[in-house]
Amino acid sequence: MPTPFAIRTALLDAAIRTQGIAAGQLIFGIIKAVDLALLAPKQVAVTNLFIKIQKPARGDQENEEDDDISKISVKKVWTSTIGFREYAFLSDKLGIAFDGDENKLNIKTIFFHRLIILEK
């Protein structure tokens, strides 16, 4: 399940990406002031995995392999690193409830009107 921090960050990111920095500043004040509650689905399948990530090498990296056939210094084209990923498949919808100052929650901001809001 996502943490409240992750949900707040995702909402702020979506506001900034879709509406710009000014909307993000307005939404930030609202997001940090409200309480969040989650209604989790009955089943969640989670997978954790490690992946090998290939990315272009920086120009100053050289291949450190030293074999008897060749003593030629070869520039690396790719370098690799390892990444950790966690994916979750929800069997149903994730419910998110906001609670806080009614005046702030009732504001029809340029971002929150895109959310489906269920009344109490």
Helices assigned H by DSSP within the chain: 4-19, 21-33, 102-106
19 near 47, Cβ under 8 Å?
A: no
pTM, two decimal places:
0.57
Radius of gyration of the chain (CA): 23
Share of the chain above pLDDT 70, in %: 70
Structure tokens at 93: 């919808």
Whether 47 contacts 87, CB under 8 Å: yes
Residue 37 tokens read as: 């509650």
pLDDT tens digits, 49-67? 999 988 888 766 555 555 5
